[in-house]
Structures are given as structure tokens and as C-alpha cells.
Chain A
Amino acid sequence: MTFTPLQLLPDALNASFKIIPAAMVSGMLLLFLGIGYAFRVADTEDLWVAGRSIGNVENGMAIGANWMSAASYLGMAALIALSGYYGLAFVVGWSTGYFVLLIFMAAQMRRFGKYTAPDFVGDRFNSDTARAIGALTTILIGFVYSVGQARGMGLVGIYVFGGDYATMVILMMGITVGYLALSGMLGATKNMAVQYVILIVAFLAGLYAVGYTQGYSTFLPQVEYGALLGQLNTEFTEPFSGTSYFLWIATAFSLIVGTCGLPHVLVRFYTVESERTARWSTVWGLFFICLLYLSAPAFAAFGTDLYANNVGSVYGANGMSGAEGDVIVVLASQLANLPTWFVGLVAAGGIAAAIATTAGLFIAASSAAAHDIYTNIINPDATQRQQLLVGRSTIIVLGAIVTVTALDPPALVGELVALAFSLAGLVLFPMFFLGLWWENANRQGALAGMTTGLLIWTAAVFNELILATESGPLVPIYAEVFPAVGAALVGTPIVFAITIGVSMATSEPPERIKQIVRQCHSPKPMGQQQSAEDIVDAKSGHSPADD
């Protein structure tokens, strides 16, 4: 896959100001701001982990909304339509990873019970440097991931409000940042359940309406689109036509391990009431996710057929552009001649999806800055007021940088988001996994592993996106082995090996750290507000050891 500069505007999309959709989207945005205001927070416990009070289904919905971004709502159908069978690697990677998260990490993370993902890295490996690398990675992930969201919001926004792409990106990001700075995690979690309902209703309504009015399907478009596959261009289903088996596996693998390493996903397990809730809310979350992921290929198939019949050929030199692909869900509804208000509903769902995910990412990034970098490293005596201030400033600054980058993004929405996954899979996943499942993983191992992961990822992105020329990546062989969206397939095992090797060559972690790890796997119940560290320190009766 090559990354060529993107055409910013989708030609076939009817971009103009439309009164009813505009009213609907504005109403929805006001609702988010209202919920954020109603659940506004004044203390950090609520801002970061919603007071650890969230239940099964609510957390499941929040997992779903947090998860299903513009990349799922818009980008996935685009990838399936444009890249055929390769696009399914995204469906598989973005859904099945939750199972690995469930069996290996969800409950143990809840028992560890800290506030943020970098917290885990810093406390488990007893190192502020590790904490800082974890925090910087979290912020970097939030940045790369949100650029995709901002682009999705901007593209859909021009359908509803007309105007130009830049204005829309700035407007939508302004609203997201505004309500986040106001409400924090509790407001965001309450909002996420609402956002999930809006996005799934809009997506399914769009799919059913397009399928029914165009005669593709009646009751179960998720299965009935099979009949259409034979009529589409062979590019749609033919395996490995443009991309290799290796790239397919690399992409799916990266997305799976990335799922297990994403800070804004892991923090959802800190917000629940117990470890059993952590487990069942993951099952609920995956169920809610599957509703959309089983439907997206159907939407892509309908959209591709409608495009071929109404606009022109889908594949080839004058085929569908990346920008058109990125709005194929909205485009399909428009090409099916559905009423304007209805297309507006589908567009609103896309905006809800993008806002929910951006919210989760920004909360993760701001807690990394305020809690992990500022409070734990720079100013240990920080008051809650100062922490909130740093957290909110981070949200605003990050929002501004994301907005500027999104004005000229380097890749498709889905691809941009996939980059964040390979970063999480390379740097954070091995630390979480080894940290929880191998008590002898130590500080030196973690530092060596994380640095290696960061280097592999940075090199891949520079090689393929930033320094690449017209003829392709700077170093083609490196791009073969470490494709930017799938660098984790080869990279993650290397990071594992380095972490294990260095840990074995250096001294073992202190007994106290080992006991905290053991507490994460003990079957004994813990209090709702307790962390593994509290239990260990209470039992041994001494204050935190330093080594």
C-alpha cells in the first residue's frame, strides 16, 4: 500500500448547507455539552477513573463508543471498499483483539487498580523514566489517532454544513475540546453510552434503509449482502490481489496487540466496580462492537455497487478517491436517494463516533500529562486544582495540534488510526503483558524494550510517510518487514525478546513489586477502591520500598 497525498474533498458527495441535518447535528452536539456540564467534575478521581463506579452494560457501551471511532464508522467501510479482502484485516484486527484483552489482561488490570496506563508502567517497573516513556507514548498515540478522527469529522461536517474542510475540522475539534475540558472522564463516560446509542442506531438505520430501498436486502443485510458479492468487481473479494498474505497478517496482528496496548482502552477497566465487571463489560463491549463490525462489510458492498452504478468505476485510475471512500457510508445513503434528514442522521452518527473516541484519547493523554508527568515526576505536591489545570491545558494544546495536522493529513482515516495501533502494540502491549504475567520482568528490561519499540515505529513512519518519495518508501526492504500499519508482527516479538533478555541479565525486581504482581492474580476479593499496591503495603506493614 502506498501513501500518496490525499485529495481532501470527496467529489461525489453533495456538500452544502442543509437545514434539517444541520439542526439535528447541532442538537446532538448541544446534548453532549449538556451531559458534560451536568456531570462536570471537580476532583481528579472523577476526572480520571469516574470514581470506579461504572457497571457492566454501561461500561460495555462506553467500551463500544470509545472504540468505534471515525475509523470504524467511516474508515472501515472505506478500506473494505477500496482495498477489498485486505480491508477485512481491519475488521478482524479491531474486533477479535478484545478476546486477548479479556483473557490476559482485563481483570488483572482492574486488580492492579491505578489511574492511567503510564501509571501501570511506572509503578510496575518502579521507574519514573519508564513512566515518562509510557506517558509520552500515550500522548503520541492520542495525537496520531485523533488526526484520523478530526479528518472524519471534517469530511462529514461539510456534508451537513457545507463550507470548506478546514472550517469544519476547526469547528468540530473546538466542540470536542470544549466539552472535554469541562467534564472529564465521568462526563465522557456518561456521554459515551449516549454516543454509542446514536452511532449504532444511525449506522444500522442507514444500512437497513439503503439495503431495503435499493432491493439488496430485507431483514438481515449483514448476511444478505453475500448475494451481491458475485456482481461486484473481482477486486472486492479476490484475496491478496494488491496486498500480500504477509501484510494481511501483519496488519491484523498489529491491530490485535494494539488493542491490548491502547491506554484509552485499558483505562476503561479502571473505571469499573469490580474485576468481574471488568470481564463481563469486555464481553458486552465486544458484542456492541460486533454489531457494527458485522454490518460494515455490508455497507461497503452496497456503497461500492451504488457508486459503480451512479458515479463511475470504483477501481482503477479514475476510480473512487480516498476522500470518497472515507465517506462511503454517507455517500451510499445519498446515492440511494434517501431523504436529506435521513442522510443527516447517518452523518450525525459518524460525528458521534469521532467525538466519543477523541474524548477517550484526550482524557488518556491529559491524564498522562497531568498525573504521570506533572504530579509523579515534576511536582509531587501538586494540588488537585493544579492537576486539573495541567490536564485541561493538555487537552486544549493537543486539540490545537491535532486540528492543524488534520488540515493536511498524510493518509486515509483508517490507516492513520492503524498507525496508532502499531505504536501501542510495539511499546505498551509487551510491558502490560510481561508486567502482569512474568514477575521477573524488571526496570532495565522495560526501558530497553520500550525504547526498541519506539525506534522501530518511528523508523517505520519516517520511512514510509514522512521521508518517502514518489517512488515509494526510503528504504523499501525496511518497509517490507516493518510496514507502518503492521510493524508489530515482527517488532513486538523483538521487543518481547529484548525485555526478557535484559531482565534476565540484570537483577530481579524487588520483592514488593513481585508481590504486587502476585496480588493481581490472586483469587481473593479486593475492596472497590483498593489497588494491589495497597494490599501488599498493608500486609507487609512498611512503606513503599525504593531500589
Chain B
Amino acid sequence: MTDNSSQSDGTAPDIETDGGVQTSRRNVNYLDAQINIFKPATPFMRDHLKIVWMMFVAWTIIVFGPVTATFLAPDLMTSITILGFPLHYLLTAMGAPSGALILSFIYARKRDQLDDKYGIDHSTKQAAPDTETVAPDGGAEQ
């Protein structure tokens, strides 16, 4: 991947020297990898955004598809009935909310798998963080 200096407005080049090193993903310095939703700079962000965009497209179709279909072909959508529901009503009132719920579940599962792949541990029992850094904020400890 050629991922340095590819942004439109020419950032200083020194910030992304190792953003695309794929062989040693543990060594990626994430504080140096540029954040741009269209040009992910690290393997982790590339993998993550692939999931995000795929699912976002599915979501758009589920949410705005039925009402648009109803607008384009009103007779067809209102004349088909399933369980007494006109098709447009069924897809909008039940399809969209439950579709979004199912997609959310799939996303959270995929994201957990991605965390496994990158060895991310979310256990909150890790050592207490450096209290010096949070002290100005009130410093409440567990």
C-alpha cells in the first residue's frame, strides 16, 4: 500500500512513515497513522472500515429502501399483502427496526473477531492507570 502523502491537502510527510507495514502489525505506531475515513492508513483500520462500509450500505438499503420503493412503485408495494400487512407497511414498520438490530449484532460480533485477530484485550481488571495523568480531572479511582 502506498499510503503516505496521499491526502489531498499535503500534510507534513513525517507522520506516516510506517503506517502501512503489514508484516509487523504489532509494531504499527498508531499515533502516527493518519485518520481519514476514506484512506485508512493501518491494517487494523482497513479491516475495520471494510466491515463498517459493507454494513453501512446494507443498513441504507434496509432503512431507505422500502420507502423509496413505495415512492417509485406505489401500486405494487401497497397491493401485495403479507399477514394482512401491505408490503410497504410491513417492510417499514418491522423490517427497518429489526434489520438494524440484526445488523448491529452482526457488527458487534465481527468487531469482536477483529479484536481477537489484533490481540485486543478488553478486560477492565488491568493495573490501575497512571494516576498522575488523570488527577486534574478529579482523579477518582476505582
- Closest Cβ of chain A to B72, distance in Å, is 9
Tell me the complex Cα distance, A163–B45, Å.
59
Contacts of A493 in B (CB 8 A): none
Cα A96 to Cα B77 in complex, Å, equals 22
**Looking at B97, B115, B124, B134, which has the most chain A CB atoms within 10 Å of its CB?**
B97
Task: Please name all residues of chain A whose beta carbon is closer than 8 Å to the beta carbon of B101 when the two chains form the complex.
Answer: 95, 283, 286-287, 290
Residues on B with beta carbons closer than 8 Å to the beta carbon of A511? 15
Chain B residue, CB-CB nearest to A287: B101
Which residues of chain A in 62-101 are interfacial with respect to chain B, using CB atoms and an 8 Å cutoff? 85, 88-89, 91-92, 95-96, 98-100
Q: A530 vs B141: C-alpha distance in the bound complex, in angstroms?
A: 11
The residues of A that contact B35 with a CB separation of less than 8 Å are: 436-439, 514, 517-518, 520-521
Grouping DSSP codes into helix (H, G, I), strand (E, B) and loop, the A interface class, with mixed when no group exceeds half, is helix
Residues of chain A in range 471-515 having any CB-CB distance to chain B below 8 Å: 504, 508, 511, 514-515
Q: CB < 8 Å: which of A46, A102, A530 contacts B104?
A: A102
Contacts A279-B108, A528-B124: A51 and B140 contacting too (C-beta < 8 A)?
yes
Nearest-CB residue, chain A, relative to B7: A440
> A46-B140, A525-B122 are contacts. A249–B33 as well, Cβ < 8 Å?
no
B138 lies within 8 A of A44 (CB):
yes
The answer to whether A452 has its CB under 8 Å from any CB of chain B is no
A290 and B129 contacting across the interface, CB-CB below 8 Å:
no
Query: Which size class do B's interface residues fall under?
Result: 35 or more
Partner of A518, one of B33, B93, B99, B100: B33
Contact code string B115-130 (vs A, CB < 8 Å = 1, else 0)? 1001011101011111
How close is A268's CB to chain B, nearest CB, in angstroms? 15
What separation, in Å, do the CA atoms of A530 and B103 have in the docked complex? Answer: 30
A523 and B120: CB pair below 8 A?
A: yes
By a CB distance below 8 angstroms, the chain B residues around A16 are none
Query: A43 and B140: CB pair below 8 A?
Result: yes
Evaluate contact between B122 and A245: CB separation under 8 angstroms.
no
Say yes or no for A315: interface residue by CB 8 A criterion: no
Interface string of A509-542 (1 = CB under 8 A from B): 0010011011111111111111100101111000
Interface string of A205-240 (1 = CB under 8 A from B): 000000000000000001100111110000001111
- A252 interface residue per 8 A CB criterion: yes
B84 to chain A, nearest CB (A): 3
A385 CB–B CB distance under 8 Å: no
Q: How many residues of A contact B (CB 8 A)?
A: 83
Instruction: Tell me which residues across on chain B come within 8 A of A531, comparing CB atoms.
Output: 134, 137
Q: Which of A144-152, A270-278, A323-331, A332-340 contacts B (4 or more CB under 8 A)?
A: A270-278
Chain A positions 293 through 306: 1 when the CB is less than 8 Å from some CB of chain B, otherwise 0:
11001000000000
Q: Which of A412-439 contact B (CB under 8 A)?
A: 436-439
Q: Indicate whether A58 reaches chain B with its CB closer than 8 angstroms.
A: no
Q: Give the shortest distance, in Å, between B18 (CB) and chain A (any CB).
A: 13
Kindly state the separation between the CA atoms of A518 and B137 in the bound complex, as whole angstroms: 22
Is the CB–CB distance between B85 and A273 below 8 Å? no
Residues of the A chain whose Cβ atoms lie less than 8 Å from the Cβ of B62: 96
| CB-based contact B84/A521 at 8 Å | no
Could you mark each residue 56-89 of chain B with 1 if its beta carbon is under 8 Å from any beta carbon of chain A, else 0? 1001001110011011001001100111111011
Cβ < 8 Å to A, chain B residues 30-74? 30-37, 44-45, 48, 51-52, 55-56, 59, 62-64, 67-68, 70-71, 74
Most buried by A among B55, B74, B83, B140: B140
Tell which of A89, A277, A508, A534 has the most Cβ of chain B within 10 Å. Answer: A534
Q: Chain B's nearest CB lies how many Å from the CB of A194?
A: 23
Contact B52 A226 (CB under 8 A): no
Do residues B134 and A286 form an inter-chain contact, with CB atoms below 8 A? no
| Chain B, Cβ-Cβ closest to A104 | B52
Within 8 Å by CB of A536, from B15, B31, B105, lies: B31
Contact pick for A276, options B8, B68, B71, B122, CB 8 Å: B122
The answer to whether B133 and A538 have CB atoms under 8 Å apart is: yes
Task: Report chain A residues within 8 Å CB of B113.
Answer: none
Distance between Cα atoms of A521 and B48 in the complex (Å)? 10
In the complex, what residues of B have CB within 8 A of residue A287's CB? 101
Question: Is residue B90 contacting chain A, with contact meaning CB distance below 8 A?
Answer: yes
Asked whether any CB of chain A lies closer than 8 Å to the CB of B1, the reply is no
Residue of B52, B71, B105 touching A245 (CB-CB under 8 A): B71
The answer to whether B100 touches A99, judged by C-beta atoms less than 8 angstroms apart, is yes
Tell me whether A439 and B63 are in contact in the complex, defined as CB-CB below 8 angstroms, given that A102-B104, A527-B129, A538-B130 are known contacts: no
Q: Does B22 contact A (CB under 8 A)?
A: no
B133 CB to nearest A CB, Å: 4
CB-CB under 8 A for A521 and B96, given A103-B55, A229-B85, A230-B84:
no
Can you list 26 residue pairs at the A/B interface with Cβ under 8 Å? A45-B140, A51-B140, A85-B92, A95-B97, A99-B107, A103-B51, A103-B52, A226-B85, A227-B84, A230-B84, A240-B74, A249-B64, A252-B67, A256-B63, A276-B112, A283-B108, A290-B98, A290-B101, A384-B138, A440-B9, A508-B9, A514-B35, A522-B30, A523-B118, A529-B128, A534-B129
Enumerate chain A interface residues (CB-CB to B < 8 A): 43-46, 51, 53, 85, 88-89, 91-92, 95-96, 98-100, 102-104, 107, 115, 222-223, 226-230, 237-240, 245, 248-249, 252, 256, 273-277, 279-280, 282-283, 286-287, 290, 293-294, 297, 384, 436-440, 504, 508, 511, 514-515, 517-531, 534, 536-539
Nearest 7 Cβ contacts at the A-B interface? A527-B129, A522-B30, A226-B84, A96-B100, A45-B140, A276-B122, A226-B85
A511-B15, A530-B133 known, 5 other contacts, Cβ within 8 Å: A102-B104, A239-B88, A275-B122, A282-B104, A530-B129
